Amino acid sequence: MSDQQRILPGSGTTDPYNIEGREAPETRPLIPLGQKSYDGDQQPRMGFFTDTTVCIGCKACEVACKEWNDVPDTIGELTGNSYDNTGGLGADNWRHVAFIEQRKPIYLQENAHLGTPAVEGEPDFRWLMSSDVCKHCTEAPCLDVCPTGSLFRTEFGTVVVQEDICNGCGYCVSACPFGVLEQRERDGRVWKCTLCYDRTKDGLEPACAQACPTDSIQYGPLDELREKANGRLDMLVEAGASDARLYGANEEEYGMGAFFLLLDDPEVYGLPPDPEVVTRKFRSLWGPAAVAASALAAGVAAAFIGGNR
């Protein structure tokens, strides 16, 4: 099967994911059950670096994502939470721009003569804005628990759902520590960011990064992005932003293929401070489970033998 036949169908049609079943089966992605990624053609691991300090909340990323991937429209819905109209990530929101309003000093803006001056007698007011997305985790628990092979890792190290194989079991939904995955109400299947796999296969950057006017969303090889992010962090700390920190950039903690530069605690942005790969716990449970099973079997056998007497 050629590479062209194996890629996810791109946008540009009215039914890019073949929901209506009109696409020929031989053009659909095909991965044997139990195989988590394609063999060969391994590429440098690609991902996102989101610099929230330059996000302006324009939502161009949300619109570009929906338009390219034919994600159902939810942008017209209002949540009543600042300018946030998507609420969070889900099956119909693969990008989510969060707006956090805070009464906090705006040291950087003041020194750069940006922002709105504080009203006399009132503390400074600032907005934190951030475009959230699937993290394409280094150890993806959703990938571990998927029973059908619907979730797989691409040659770029990203995690993609093949929705035509998804059986709607929902195991991945509960396994994800970030609440990214969700089943679409109309069909029960799981949908999420593919990091525009159809575009990256052709050497193009994802639609959201392409549309971002400030380069808050940057796409490229993860090693290069991490180096760039560390340089940016040093610059901010030197400028006085002592709360600045990287989230998800350290592979020794919880490695992510989409990491962030934040100006406050992760919880402020709706991110878990200490995400866990829940499937790691499964390995430590096998020993006690085996001991318990052996004890149970021995007890049943003893009861059976005793009963025969």
- Please check whether residue 18 lies inside any domain of the structure: no
Residue 164: CATH number of its domain: 3.30.70.20
Using DSSP, state whether 233 is helix, strand or coil: helix
DSSP 135-166: ---SS-HHHHH-SSS-EEE-TTS-EEE-TTT-
- Please check whether residue 288 lies inside any domain of the structure: no
Beta bridge partners of 245: 262
What percentage of the chain carries pLDDT values higher than 70? Answer: 69
The first and second tokens of residue 3, run together, are 């590479």
- Please check whether residue 11 lies inside any domain of the structure: no
More confident residue, 279 or 80: 80
What pLDDT, in 10s, does the model give residues 153-207? 999 999 999 988 999 999 999 999 999 999 998 889 999 999 999 999 999 999 9
- Please check whether residue 1 lies inside any domain of the structure: no
pTM more than 0.75 = no
- Please check whether residue 140 lies inside any domain of the structure: yes
- Please check whether residue 262 lies inside any domain of the structure: yes
Q: Which of 135, 137, 134 is nearest to 193 (CA)?
A: 134
Task: Specify the number of domains making up the chain.
Answer: 1
Largest CA distance in the chain: 92
CA 271, CA 248: separation in Å to the nearest integer? 10
- Please check whether residue 72 lies inside any domain of the structure: yes
Residue 72 lies in domain:
29-278
- Please check whether residue 235 lies inside any domain of the structure: yes
Q: Which amino acid is at 149?
A: G
Asked if 97 and 86 touch (Cβ cutoff 8 Å), the reply is yes
